[in-house]
Structure 1
Amino acid sequence: MTGSFSIGIIGGSGMLGGAIARALLRQGDWPASRLWISNRSGSRAGFDDHPHVTVTTDNQQLASACDLILLAVPPEHADDLRIRASDRLVVSVMAGITVQRITRLTGAARVVRAMSSPAAERGLAYSPWFGTAALTARDEARVTALFTPCGLTDRIAQEDQIDLFTAMTGPVPGFVALFAQLVAGYATQHGIPPPIADRAVRQLFLGAGIIMAEDAKSPDEHVQEMIDYAGTTAAGLQSLQGSSIAQDLRAGLDASVARARALGETD
């Protein structure tokens, strides 16, 4: 499947579109001659090492030339796409923009609504997607080929769950960064020099993330295991479990979901 069809990314020079494009080229070894990028300036910035990537300012030219069209523009620019792609597979990573609206904007029936993140460039993203009933088995394989170089991917059954993943994809790394900031702050308040606190927290969070990703145990099992050990970690965890942290986290995620859905509303 790799390289057997062409991909065009409208917004391919943006943070997310560019990350996915470079994941294809680096992680997936995608043939540069089968990748198109559309942006407003026609700039090749970010793709200087791939002279065979086609760059255009004409969205319709890209749509007419490519088998799979990835819409990666900010949601507020969705109405500026101005493409007709009724016979194409259209995939959108525009936050909040519904399948119904994507169909109206492009004329496509074979539509996928997805979410990913700039971590795609390192092959570390999670990219869930929802597809319309018109998708074929070949379309499904192509969507998988698009997102596999970006990290992990799953097809989900309900479109509204994409808003939930949108609310987790961006905010959760931000929440982790906030938690790291608080831990580092605790260390510096107790006299540890800021450079050492920063270095320690980065390594601690790196180790925790790798263990969580690679261990077969669920988060629930990890927490319970550490509580059962009854050491210093258990004392801290039990204190947090008795706090409002879970309620506060849910409130933060609810706010992110509401924002994701608001982004898709038309004027």
Structure 2
Amino acid sequence: MTQELTLALIGGGNMANALATGLIGRRCAAADVHVIDPNEALRARWTEQGSTAAATPDERLSACRVWFFAVKPQVMREVVQQCRPFLRPDTLVISIAAGIPGEAIGRWLGGEGAPHAKLVRCMPNTPALIASGITGMYAMQGVEADDRALAENLLRAVGEIVWVDRDESIDAVTAVSGSGPAYVFLFLEALIQAGTEQGLTAGQARQLALATFHGATQLATLSPDSPAVLRDRVTSKGGTTAAALAVFQEAGFERIVGQAVRAAAERAAELARELAGDRE
């Protein structure tokens, strides 16, 4: 796309840097990016690459077509309200704050009587840092087709995207893919440890575990068959895989995963109540 893009990154940390890495030179110039972050060293890194930066919101925000909020949920309300004086009616706001519903952000930006509706709520995950993430996205009713396409193109710079139809569904996205890398890392830790207990060196076990995960997920991605079918193909009756899977099943592996994902989704909903008030 060649349409001019001016972008404000409100919060200049890892996720903002990942987004900018995917966009600068392809979708916009470094000079088209304005960063707001209280960390002086962080601001210096942005200005060194040609972007502008400020410790607090200022009038330069008004010139930015898109505001991308990448701050911690605990400070989101305060930061949004600091930015509010510089908001224009056509500003597209994108938020990645976990647990903060779009309704609350719109209200903080526009007030109870006139919430800002050009708002997209997103939940990326940490593989976005290597442009291999996936982001769940929800568009508020005021987001028109061109804004939706713009938001999608922005987040595609760091991986795949999935649109959902309800704001509350972002809680489920958070539980599955937002928190999901930690589940994978936990399983990897356990698999590597188990390998060393069977006599492999730590390096051998790590290489085997990582390559197995990478290959299996690639196979699942490229194959037209379901994970269940692929699993059955690896599992010979009475064989080694069957013996291992029997242990997982006896321990209630599927039930444990379901409970874990449910706990994460419930915590996301709790954050919404704690930080933004009950959804209306």
Q: CA deviation at 1:160?
A: 0.7
Distance in 2 (alpha carbons) for counterparts of 1:220 and 1:4 = 46
Deviates most, 124-133 or 60-69 = 60-69
- Match of 2:225, SS state, is coil
* 2:54 pairs with 1:56: yes
Query: Which residue in the other structure is 1:76 paired with?
Result: 74
* 2:186 pairs with 1:178: yes
Q: Counterpart of 2:103 in structure 1: which amino acid?
A: Q
Mind listing any 5+ residue stretches in structure 1 that lack a counterpart? none
| Deviations 1:85-124, CA, capped at 9 Å, x for gaps | 2511111100010111101222222111111123223221
Indicate the RMSD between aligned Cα atoms, in angstroms: 2.3
Q: How does 1:81-96 map to 2 (within 5 A)?
A: 81=79, 82-84=82-84, 85-87=87-89, 88-96=91-99
Query: Which residue in the other structure is 1:4 paired with?
Result: 4
Q: CA deviation at 1:252?
A: 1.1
Distance in 1 (alpha carbons) for counterparts of 2:264 and 2:164 = 20
* 2:105 pairs with 1:102: yes
Q: Give the number of equivalent residue pairs.
A: 264
Query: Which residue in the other structure is 2:121 paired with?
Result: 113
Q: Is the 8 A contact 1:111 1:132 kept in 2?
A: yes
In the superposition, relative to structure 1, how do residues 29 and 228 fare at CA in structure 2: closer, same or farther (>3 Å)? farther
Distance in 1 (alpha carbons) for counterparts of 2:261 and 2:241 = 26
Q: Counterpart of 1:203 in structure 2: which amino acid?
A: A
Q: How does 1:145-224 map to 2 (within 5 A)?
A: 145-224=153-232
Q: Is the 8 A contact 1:38 1:57 kept in 2?
A: yes
Query: Which residue in the other structure is 2:144 paired with?
Result: 136
Q: CA deviation at 1:257?
A: 1.2
- Match of 2:35, SS state, is strand
Q: How does 1:8-47 map to 2 (within 5 A)?
A: 8-11=8-11, 13-25=12-24, 28=26, 30-42=28-40, 43-44=42-43, 46-47=45-46
In the superposition, relative to structure 1, how do residues 66 and 182 fare at CA in structure 2: closer, same or farther (>3 Å)? same
Distance in 2 (alpha carbons) for counterparts of 1:5 and 1:186 = 50
Deviates most, 202-211 or 232-241 = 232-241
Q: Is the 8 A contact 2:5 2:28 kept in 1?
A: no
* Percent of matched pairs sharing the same residue: 25
Distance in 1 (alpha carbons) for counterparts of 2:163 and 2:95 = 14
Q: Is the 8 A contact 2:92 2:147 kept in 1?
A: yes
